[in-house]
Amino acid sequence: MKVLVTGATGSVGSHIVEQLLAKDIEVKALSRKEGNLPKGAQVVLGDLDIPETIKAHLHTIDSLFLITQSEQSDEKFIKNKRIIQMAKQANVARIVALIDFEGNLIEDVIKNSGMEWTLLKPVEFMKNSLYSGWTESIQKEGIIRTAFPDSLSARIHEADIADVAVKALTEEGHGKRTYDLTGPEVLSPRSMVKQISVVIDKYIDLVEITEEQVKQEWKCKGYDNEFIEYFIIEMGKNPPKGAYTVLPTVEQVTGKPARTFTQWVIENKHYFV
């Protein structure tokens, strides 16, 4: 078996590459540039934003792990659709795709592609806590700033998504399945701060800020108003019930309990100290 993993240096793809190699499966690891990949993985250069760059690689594999772009603009939809069409033309037998938890426009294209398909729909990643300015503020000030300290999410460990993906890529019985994936517990910024504090043995003060301060912070990071209003403000104030409803899917598919946030913090402690 030969598998092409897109996003091979990313949060989920890197775990998938490691797990496939541990199973002695031939891995082609797609990346836009040379990265830190495990020994044994064949690095192939390509860019999902330029579908033709991966066309040749599709003719050399049996299965494809595809990360679909989260914001399905017309342009991104066309690019994703082209990749799926090329995979079918190259006789790729199986596709496992990472999709937004709430779904996106590319789902039906995958389902109607003629390939055996599995869709993975995870909620928010545990790793997202690294992208909210938490690491630096904890290291330097012992503070977390948030406008929504009690916003709920059943965040998932990226390795659990990878576990499910590897099952779907390498074993039978996962075709025509959509797996909604969550972690094993409902978390909030307040509860996450407490867990981080225990693991690093350091008091962390949680400071509540205004929505306007949050908007300015994300604008400074380069995000547009539409993204900020929906993904940051609205999702923070009114997360959909599905985002904080714990599901048993990870354990049902893998036979192992989903990893806790405390486990994630222990593994990533170096980001906070």
In the chain, DSSP finds a helix count (H) and a strand count (E) of 12, 9
End-to-end CA distance of the chain: 41
The pLDDT value given to residue 72: 58
Which has more confidence, 69 or 200?
200
The mean pLDDT of 133-141, rounded to a whole number, is: 93
pTM of the full structure = 0.94
Q: Which CATH code is given to the segment(s) 123-157+182-245+259-273?
A: 3.40.50.720
Of the pLDDT bands very low, low, confident and very high (cuts 50, 70, 90), residue 267 is very high
The pLDDT value given to residue 39: 86
- The architecture (CATH level 2) of 2-121 comes to 3-Layer(aba) Sandwich (3.40)
> Out of 1-10, 153-162, 165-174, 207-216, which region has the weakest mean confidence (pLDDT)?
207-216
Rounded CA-CA distance 194/6 in Å is: 35
The mean pLDDT of 104-113, rounded to a whole number, is: 92
The pLDDT value given to residue 220: 87
Q: Give the pLDDT confidence of 11-52 residue by residue, as tens digits.
A: 999 999 999 999 999 999 999 887 778 889 999 999 999 999
Q: Give the pLDDT confidence of 159-182 residue by residue, as tens digits.
A: 999 999 999 999 999 999 999 999
HEC profile of 71-137: CCCHHHHHHHHHHHHHHHHCCCCEEEEECCCCCCCCHHHHHCCCCEEEEEEECCEHHHHHHCCHHHH
Pinpoint the residues of the chain covered by CATH 3.40.50.720. Answer: 2-121, 123-157+182-245+259-273
- Give 238: exposed, middle or buried? Use CB within 10 Å, 0-12, 13-18, 19+: exposed
Tokens of 214: 């949050």
